[in-house]
Structure 1
Amino acid sequence: MTGSGRAPHDVRQQFDLDLKGLGTSAARAFRQRSQPRLFCPGPLRDDRALGERVNEEMLRWAAETGIYPGRLDKLREADFGRYMMLAHPATSDPDRLLAATKCLVAEWAADDYYVDEVSLGADPMVVGSRLANLYAVVDPPSLPGGYASQKDAYHRLQPISTAFRTAMEHLARYASVTQLARFRHQLAILFLAWTQEADWHVNRRTPPVWEYLVQRHLNSYLPPMILMDVLGGYELPPGEFFHPEVRAAFTTAGNAAVLINDLYSQKNESETDHNLPSVLAAEERLTHREAVFRTVEIHNELMETFVSRAARLSATGSPALRRFFADTWAYLGGSREWHATSGRYHDSKEGKP
């Protein structure tokens, strides 16, 4: 589908329909196939012109910050502007989508340059200190005397610091104090997860499946997902957002979303990187094909759990909570579509898998 996308009330209506049509019985049917299919919605819109507009503005910002020097063509191919357009159909405002895209690209750049890509300077021995220093941009400390100027001098030499600072300044135009606080909180969780990943690399250790899934719970897609009500122009009240049952449903959706990344990114990863298929193969002595199918089954189980929890909570929660879960459902479909088509994971000559 092309165009400007459905209005928020249509997104909620689609969520209701999908809950009926893709409930747990349908998910179980997916699981029972010899080659399981992903239990995931499709995108609610694909406005290519809007995505391209956001992408072009993001590229200008990336050039100004200095991230990905000499690699902006690769950043263009990744099409992160389209990602946020697909994942956040509740808004057609290009500037709101740009704010979210900047935050997403800053996070991705930190992962590439500090954690994953040795060719870009990643070093597992210093991941912890780099991320702690970067978090000082996310949640600035008050340092005494000349120490503040030394800190500022350090960050002026770090393009990723500039990316985070300017991205959050843009986000602050639309986010409330509470929404910014929970975004900072989720980034702290993300940075912690990256230090755990560095520990695996330093110690040349393949984690057991349960530990890998814990890390993926921390290193999930919640940072970009958490901006849903910011982009939608409303705010889920803190009492509902942080309610344990709502948090459990939302984090389960984030965990499912990031396993889509494991499926699509694995062919681009080095032999020392970890993903769910690789740790499943190592622990359970599976072939690669079997490990991929098992990953799909785990993803589908998480999606079943999210749908069940979201349906129950939506029936008794506020209109804002109902909208929040509808936006979560929409995010899952848009995210899956981006992973299936992005130049980050597929050559331009490849069709959609």
Structure 2
Amino acid sequence: MTAQTRSPLLHWTAVVPVLAAVALIATWGRELPLTVVALVAVFLAGAVLAAVHHAEVVAHRVGEPFGSLVLAVAVTVIEVALIVTLMISGGGKTSSLARDTVFAAVMITCNGILGLCLLSGALRRRVAIFNSEGTGAALATVATLATLSLVLPTFTTSKLGSEFSTPQLAFAAVASLGLYGLFVAVQTVRHRDYFLPITTGGVVVDAEEHAAPPSTRTALTSLGLLLVALIAVVGNAKAVSPTIESAVAALGFPHAVVGIVIALLVLLPETLAAVRAARRDRIQTSLNLALGSAMASIGLTIPAIAIASIWLHGPLVLGLGPTQMVLLGLTFIVGILTVVPGRATPLQGGVHLAVFAAFLFLAVSP
């Protein structure tokens, strides 16, 4: 990582997350006028930029691939907490919230972030190089988790509708958590070298040669500020969601578009961090972030929802519809063809972005 622990920007990156958190506390649960919404949006953008900075500081301290896990897991844990809170308080109208959020996260990470990073890296250096073994393992895990949790409920017969029965939901939760834990162990211990960045020249980067790692104290400070910034991002995104809902309704778009907009805001720190890594010829780091985020979103959300279902009332819809399953299948087919060679041209990045554009368009015009 190239995070500069003595950067002159350190001051604002420390102040903005705190201000964003104060704005979150002051506006939580209130109906906001348009001017306040605009101010919250400014703090939201500042918290996103600060989160990226602090994530890079922490990642530079712990090294890859541990660094990629920091931002992905932190964002996902807070996102899961938000989903569960909304489902508990929202009643029947939020029955498909978990499904819509997880599916949006998979499409954003596996097509939007991944495609943008491949395109950015390949345009700068003609070809984007990455480790096909590590990336392939990550993609296979995401595909398995998504199929078990989002596709099978549409076809099971123990319960009517696109829902799991209680034993099926428990199995999906245990399988999701187990697969995610196994992948993290492989990524960080057993086969750590499969997930290290590879430069265009074929050199494996196990450490940053041009900058000394930050001190433990600096890294811990950045970790704390990272969590504050992420909480502010998710919370302020929720605060502006009523305005987004009103705008979506005024435009005549389906209500599912609201969830996509919120998911885009929540995943913005990971997007910026991944693109910045790609521009520094660290494509593997970008892919670790993208696929790790998709994996964490499923592997942590489904177990959390399974536990929360004890208190939830009403149906829990997890199964995808036909259009969503086609897009999910296309995503994994294209992903396999992208990953196998271990290198990508701008074409592969463009193909993933085209699938992502189709997802957005069909969400607006189903």
Structure holding more helix per residue: 2
Give the structure-2-normalised TM-score: 0.29
Give the structure-1-normalised TM-score: 0.30
